[in-house]
Structures are given as structure tokens and as C-alpha cells.
């Protein structure tokens, strides 16, 4: 009996072209991406028709959550002289100096703590707790970072751990609160590009949720006004139309 | 492609062997896809926009109010408020989830005579409006709410700027960058032209007003070509006017 033989065809699909495409896509994403910074609070910025883009370098972000907690993050120059690491350490030194000038309880940080601080993207705990906060990542950096993130989010279950930079409505230029000390230290940064940007108003950006009460925004603005930082920007999202 | 054909010609027996080396790229593609997914999820493509604001310095506030009194007839005060019940938004809106209420008055609080020291309001010149966008069709806009009021007040400036823009506009052409710069310079001058009676807008907000509404009002300043505006604190008179307004206009 003659049977019709069906030719066996290979099911091999050539993936080379596919691979080419994916590599191209991957390259595109790698080059265009700026990583999302982990932030202790998620806020939705209000829409605005303003076309001005946020600076890529040399700016300080004041993150405000609807409960009135405030965190800072500092982005410095790309040049090695004004690198994030160096400038953040300088910032911490400056704020320590300013703090010790007016407070009876003095604070100081070890070289290792400063090193840890320089790697923090967003920070914001009271200065007298900052040492403990930084020590968390001493033994195990990975686990410590998780703990730090939890602390910043206010979810680490320790009632003694306070998150957010102490800020209160105070127009007293003699007795500055910690938020004002930090902002003053930012203005005195050795990074002249950042200092210029802060003076021009583009160096300080407030990021707050559209739903936040004005009283809270007002408190932040008032604090900045007290130290004569009258120019700053508000972070907004793009709005179409109008 | 991923096949390499080898000709084996070195065989002594004179027969040629054809060998095909195929490299399977499927795992490579799999891995790339995973990486792409990772980068797509971790990136921010849209960069935030910023809105510049400058507040008057604390010491100068006194001078600032004196300055405003001088141009009283052109002063417009906008007060942003929101309706809320103990932290719970009661009216849902697109802006930040809380419906903002916008009040405004022209000139001095309480009309020409103002409010006396006894707090008795003779004339309540406070009006209520809303944040409302354009409801018209492109080319024929219809303005509502606070925008209509600001536009009316800034009529001469807006007209002059429209005229300036018409100079640069040609049929079916976008403005070149150079023209845009020229237009922007001209518009800047017009906005600050005192002959056109530009209004001075004072923006105030109650503590419970949503921050989104403040940004929306600051936007209106840009949209309506207002050069002079400032953010100020609520005064005692403003509160009195608002209380009086609530009394005379009971909620339905």
C-alpha cells in the first residue's frame, strides 16, 4: 500500500529579528529612563497649564503630604566637585552646625553616618533621631534600607520614631524650626549652581497633593518666607487644553 | 540569520558535509522582554511641570498693602474656599476631589466706604462664582466663572494681545521660534502697560481650600494675561464678608 508521506516541516521560528527589535527597545528605555524615586508619600500634583519643565539637576524638592508632614530631597550637579555625595555631607554638616548654635542638646554624626546620609534620596526625620535612623543600615544595608523606608512612611510600628521634618507655624526669625534650618543649610550649600538656582527661585520645588488643605501649603510657604526664601516653584502635572 | 552554514571541504573522501548551526534566540528574546518590562515599569516618561511663584517678603507686606490701596479701583480680590464636612469631601469635582468655591470682590472689602471698626457691613460686595473652563467650541470660546470675570476686567490687555498675535499669524502656518520670541516680548510689554488698566489681583485662600484650586487660580492668571497678582493672607474683613454672604445666601 502506498501511503502519501507528509513532509515533516521544522517548527523552528527564527527569533533573530525579534531579538533585534527587543534589544533596540531595551536600549531606548535604558537611555531615556530616569528612575522613579522612592518617596515616603504618594502625592498627585495638581494640573496646570504651565509649560516650564522641572530642572534635571540642582534643585531641592519639598515633599508635603496631606497631613502636613514634610520631607526633603536634594539633587545636585552632575560634575564631580558638586556631586550628590559631597554636597549631601556638606548639607548635613551645615545643618548640624546651625542646630548646635541654637539648641542646648547638641548633635553630631560619625563619618559612617554621614556616608549613609549621602546615599539617601529622600530624608526627613527630626535631627535628634537622625543618628538612630542612619544607624539602621549599619549592619545590614539591605534590611536597613527597608527599615528606613518604613520609618519614613511612618509604618515601622515604633511610636518613638517620628517621620517628617519638624515644621510648625512660626514666624520667629530668631528661633528657627528644623525645616527652616535645613532650608537655610540648602541656601548655604557649597554647590554654587544650586545656590544660584535657589536664589532665582527654580531651585526649590514644593510637591504636594492637589487635595491638600491650603493651611498646610500656607504653613510651608510661611516657613520659607520667614527665612526670606520668597521665590520657589510648585510642581504640577501637565494639563491639556485651555 | 541565526544559521551558519559550514562547508566541510577538508574531508579526504571527497564528500562534502553540510552542517547547519542554528542558534536559538528564544531565551534571549524572553530575557529582553523581561528587561523591557522592568524598565517600562520603573521609568517616568512624563516630567513634572513647574509653576513659578514669588511671595512678597515678610517685612515688606505693610508697603505692599499700601501700594494696593493706591490702585484700589483696579484691585480684584479672589478668595478660594471649599465646602467640607469634618474633613470629608461632600461635593466631588474634577479638581482634587473637592469642589472649590470662588468668591471675589472688586476694590475694597465692603465697597467704597469699607467696613467700619464696629464690623457692620453696609454693602457686601462679595460675589460667588466657580472655577469653570471654556464651554465654547475652538475658535469661538465661551468663558465662564472666574475666567469671565478676570477677562472682563483685563479686557483691554487681552484685546491688545490678540491683535498682536494676529500680526504674526498667517493662514496655515505655525509661528516660528523667532516670531514666538518677538510675540512674547510684545505681549510682556502689553501686560505691563498701565494705560490699558490691567487689574491687580490678590489671591487669598481659606485654610480648608484645596491646594489644587490655588494652582488653578494661578493658572487663570497665566491664561488671562494678568501681570500683577499676589498671594496674600485672609484679612478680618474678608472673613466678615464671607460670614455675611453665608447668612444672606442660605444653602439650598
Q: How do residues B119-177 score in pLDDT, each as one tens digit?
A: 677 778 888 887 776 666 666 777 888 888 888 888 888 888 888 888 777 666 777 78
Q: How do residues A45-63 score in pLDDT, each as one tens digit?
A: 888 888 888 888 888 999 9
d(CA B167, CA B120): 52
Nearest CB among A30, A224, A235 relative to B48 is that of A235
Interface test with B, best of A210, A216, A220, A224 (most B CBs within 10 A): A210
Burial readout B131-156 (b: 16 or more C-beta within 10 A, e: otherwise): bebbeeeeeeeebbbbbebbbebbee
Q: What is the mean pLDDT of chain A?
A: 86
A111-118 helix and A127-135 helix, angle to the nearest 10 degrees: 90
Q: What pLDDT score was predicted for residue B88?
A: 53
Strand pairing report for B3-8 and B17-22: antiparallel
Q: What pLDDT score was predicted for residue A205?
A: 92
Sequence-distant (6+) residues with CB within 8 A of A52 are A233, B49, B50, B51, B52
**Facing residues of B22 across strands?**
B3
Euclidean distance between the first and the last CA atom of chain A, given in angstroms as a whole number? 81
Chain A residues lying within 8 Å of B45, measured CB to CB: 32
Q: What's the rounded mean pLDDT across residues B180-198?
A: 81
Please state which of the ranges A18-27, A91-100, B44-53 shows the lowest mean pLDDT. Answer: B44-53
- % of chain A surpassing 90 pLDDT: 17
Sequence-distant (6+) residues with CB within 8 A of B4 are B20, B21
Helix (H, G, I), strand (E, B) or coil at B201: strand
Is the pLDDT at B34 greater than 90? The verdict is yes
Q: What pLDDT score was predicted for residue B224?
A: 85
Is the pLDDT at A145 greater than 90? The verdict is no
Is the pLDDT at B95 greater than 80? The verdict is no
Q: Structure pTM? A: 0.79
Closest by Cα among A212, A236, A44, A43 to B84: A212
A84-102 helix and A111-118 helix, angle to the nearest 10 degrees: 120
The secondary structure element, H or E, covering residue A208 is strand A204-208
Chain A residues lying within 8 Å of B22, measured CB to CB: 12
**Partner-chain contact A226 B35, CB within 8 Å:** no
Q: What pLDDT score was predicted for residue A207?
A: 92
Chain B residues lying within 8 Å of A197, measured CB to CB: none
Integer-rounded Cα radius of gyration of chain A: 24
Q: What pLDDT score was predicted for residue B96?
A: 46
Interface test with A, best of B51, B83, B94, B96 (most A CBs within 10 A): B51
Is the pLDDT at B12 greater than 90? The verdict is no
Q: What pLDDT score was predicted for residue B178?
A: 82
The Cα-based distances of A22 to A11, B3, B32 in angstroms read 22, 20, 6
A84-102 helix and A178-187 helix, angle to the nearest 10 degrees: 130
**Facing residues of B176 across strands?**
none
Please state which of the ranges A91-105, A145-159, B33-47 shows the lowest mean pLDDT. Answer: B33-47
* pLDDT tier for residue A97 given thresholds of 50, 70 and 90: very high
Q: How do residues B216-238 score in pLDDT, each as one tens digit?
A: 898 888 888 888 888 888 888 88
d(CA A233, CA A200): 10
Q: What pLDDT score was predicted for residue A176?
A: 82
d(CA A210, CA B217): 13
Q: Does residue B110 or residue A214 have the better pLDDT?
A: A214
Nearest CB among B97, B133, B209 relative to A242 is that of B133
How much of chain A is helix, strand and coil, in % rounded to 5?
A: 40, 15, 45
**Partner-chain contact B43 A241, CB within 8 Å:** no
Is the pLDDT at A10 greater than 80? The verdict is no
Of all residues in chain B, the one with the smallest CA distance to A32 is B45
Q: What is the mean pLDDT of chain B?
A: 76
Q: What pLDDT score was predicted for residue B67?
A: 52
Q: What's the rounded mean pLDDT across residues A20-25?
A: 92
The Cα-based distances of A54 to A124, A197, B53, B99, B154 in angstroms read 22, 12, 14, 28, 30
Is the pLDDT at A112 greater than 70? The verdict is yes
Q: What pLDDT score was predicted for residue B91?
A: 46
d(CA B96, CA B92): 8
Q: What pLDDT score was predicted for residue B15?
A: 65
For A164, left (φ over 0), alpha (ψ -120 to 50), or beta?
A: left
Q: What's the rounded mean pLDDT across residues A150-170?
A: 83
Q: How do residues A197-235 score in pLDDT, each as one tens digit?
A: 988 888 899 999 888 888 899 999 988 888 888 889 998
Chain A residues lying within 8 Å of B40, measured CB to CB: 29
Provide the 8-state DSSP code for B117: T
Q: What pLDDT score was predicted for residue B1?
A: 53
Q: Does residue A194 or residue B112 have the better pLDDT?
A: A194
d(CA B183, CA B175): 9
* pLDDT tier for residue B92 given thresholds of 50, 70 and 90: very low
Q: How do residues A161-172 score in pLDDT, each as one tens digit?
A: 888 888 876 656
CA angle B36, A239, A206 (to 5 degrees): 85
Q: What's the rounded mean pLDDT across residues B63-85?
A: 69
Chain B residues lying within 8 Å of A232, measured CB to CB: 52-53
Judge contact between B110 and B121, C-beta under 8 A.
Answer: yes
Closest by Cα among B222, B79, B74 to B153: B74
**Partner-chain contact B222 A236, CB within 8 Å:** no
The Cα-based distances of A162 to A128, A152, B155 in angstroms read 10, 8, 52
The Cα-based distances of A49 to A92, A149, A240, B213 in angstroms read 36, 34, 7, 13
Closest by Cα among A98, A95, A70 to A174: A98
d(CA B95, CA A63): 20
Q: What pLDDT score was predicted for residue A70?
A: 92
Is the pLDDT at A152 greater than 80? The verdict is yes
Amino acid at each position: 500500500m502506498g501511503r502519501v508521506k507528509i513532509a515533516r516541516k521544522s517548527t523552528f521560528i527564527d527569533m533573530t529579528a525579534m531579538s533585534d527589535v527587543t534589544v533596540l527597545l531595551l536600549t531606548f528605555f535604558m537611555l531615556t529612563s530616569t528612575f522613579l524615586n522612592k518617596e515616603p508619600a504618594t502625592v498627585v500634583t495638581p494640573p496646570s497649564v504651565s509649560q516650564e519643565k522641572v530642572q534635571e539637576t540642582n534643585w531641592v524638592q519639598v515633599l508635603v503630604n496631606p497631613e502636613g508632614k514634610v520631607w526633603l530631597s536634594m539633587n545636585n550637579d552632575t560634575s564631580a566637585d558638586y556631586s550628590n555625595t559631597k554636597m549631601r555631607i556638606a548639607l548635613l554638616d551645615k545643618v548640624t552646625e546651625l542646630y548646635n548654635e541654637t539648641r542646648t542638646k547638641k548633635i553630631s554624626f560619625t563619618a559612617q553616618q554621614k556616608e549613609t546620609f549621602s546615599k539617601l534620596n529622600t530624608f526627613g526625620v527630626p535631627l535628634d533621631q537622625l543618628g538612630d535612623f542612619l544607624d539602621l543600615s549599619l549592619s545590614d544595608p539591605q534590611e536597613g534600607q527597608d527599615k528606613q523606608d518604613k520609618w519614613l512612611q511612618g509604618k515601622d510600628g515604633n511610636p518613638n520614631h517620628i517621620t517628617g521634618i519638624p515644621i510648625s507655624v512660626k514666624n520667629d526669625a530668631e528661633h528657627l524650626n528644623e525645616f527652616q534650618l535645613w532650608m537655610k543649610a540648602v541656601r548655604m550649600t557649597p554647590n554654587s549652581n544650586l545656590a544660584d538656582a535657589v536664589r532665582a527661585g527654580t531651585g526649590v520645588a514644593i510637591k504636594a497633593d492637589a487635595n491638600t488643605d491650603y493651611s498646610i501649603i500656607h504653613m510651608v510657604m510661611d516657613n520659607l518666607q520667614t527665612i526670606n526664601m520668597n521665590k520657589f516653584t510648585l510642581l504640577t502635572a501637565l494639563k491639556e487644553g485651555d | 540569520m541565526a544559521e551558519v552554514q559550514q562547508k566541510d571541504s577538508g574531508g579526504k573522501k571527497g564528500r562534502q558535509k553540510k552542517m547547519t548551526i542554528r542558534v536559538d534566540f528564544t531565551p534571549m528574546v524572553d530575557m529582553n522582554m523581561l528587561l523591557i518590562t522592568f524598565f517600562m515599569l520603573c521609568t517616568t516618561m512624563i516630567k513634572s511641570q513647574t509653576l513659578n511663584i514669588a511671595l512678597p517678603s515678610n517685612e515688606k507686606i505693610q508697603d505692599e498693602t499700601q501700594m494696593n490701596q493706591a490702585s484700589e479701583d483696579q484691585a480684584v480680590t479672589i478668595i478660594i474656599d471649599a465646602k467640607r464636612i469634618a474633613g470629608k469631601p461632600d461635593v466631588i469635582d474634577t479638581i482634587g476631589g473637592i469642589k472649590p468655591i470662588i468668591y471675589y470682590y472688586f476694590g475694597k472689602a465692603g465697597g467704597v466706604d469699607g467696613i467700619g471698626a464696629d464690623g457692620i457691613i453696609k454693602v457686601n460686595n462679595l460675589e460667588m462664582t466657580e472655577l469653570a473652563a471654556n464651554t465654547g467650541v475652538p475658535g469661538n470660546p465661551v468663558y465662564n466663572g472666574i475666567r469671565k470675570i478676570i477677562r472682563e476686567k483685563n479686557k483691554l490687555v487681552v484685546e491688545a494681545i490678540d491683535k498682536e498675535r494676529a500680526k504674526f499669524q498667517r493662514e496655515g502656518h505655525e509661528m516660528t521660534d523667532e516670531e514666538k520670541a518677538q510675540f512674547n516680548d510684545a505681549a510682556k510689554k502689553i501686560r505691563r502697560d498701565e494705560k490699558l488698566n490691567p487689574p491687580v489681583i490678590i489671591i487669598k485662600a481659606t485654610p480648608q481650600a484645596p491646594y489644587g484650586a490655588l494652582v488653578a487660580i494661578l493658572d487663570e492668571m497665566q491664561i488671562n494675561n494678568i501681570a500683577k497678582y499676589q498671594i496674600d493672607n485672609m484679612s478680618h474683613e474678608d472673613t466678615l464678608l464671607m460670614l455675611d454672604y453665608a447668612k444672606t445666601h442660605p444653602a439650598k
